[in-house]
A = this chain, B = another copy of it.
Amino acid sequence: MHRRDALVLGATGALAMTIGEAVARTPDDLTGKVRHVVNLYAAAWNAADMDAMAALYTGDVHWVNIVGMHWRGKTAVDRAHRVFFEIMFKGVPLRLEEIESVTPLPGGAVVAVVRWSVGAFRTPVGEQVPPSRDRMTLILVPDGDRLRIAHGANVQIDEMAQRSDPISPARE
């Protein structure tokens, strides 16, 4: 359906429109629904409110965190987050920088890439991580008139490596 969107938009005369620009024109209600979930996620994080965070997940959510742990199912994803908030993330500020893309999937699901700014924290093995940024892939599935998180995959941005990005600027 995404290619169809691009065609429709192209037919309006915006022939040079890139995928990124087309995504930016995804209907407001879809982007709005993604923004709603993302704002709730940030609010839950910043309040260290794990009940509110868990309420955003589907029952079979999977999560891959920035060091490559893979948690399967709401019970595991919730438990892991509770442990890590207790020992690592409580009080660490999370701020939305940008919803970089919102791409519809068949059946009403959406994949979004969201860029976060994260405050400094100390890992369980004692390593101090300075303030950093993450690019988080979220798969969101419809549940009534809202979206729930069916999958998260979070990549910490290596700021030095960004200078070697072959696609410049990052937006294609």
CB within 8 Å of B: which residues of A? 2-3, 6, 18-20, 22-23, 58-60, 62, 64-73, 75-76, 79-80, 83-84, 100-101, 103, 105-109, 111, 113, 123-125, 133-135, 137, 139, 141-142, 150-151, 153-158, 160-167, 170-172
Q: Is the interface of A mostly helix, strand, loop or mixed?
A: mixed
Residues of B within 8 A of A76 (CB): 19, 167, 172
For this chain, the copies found in one complex come to 2
**What are 11 of the A-B contact pairs (CB < 8 Å)?**
A3-B60, A22-B60, A60-B103, A68-B162, A69-B170, A73-B172, A83-B166, A106-B108, A107-B107, A111-B150, A123-B161
Could you say which of B75, B80, B105, B113 contacts A70, with CB atoms under 8 Å apart? B113
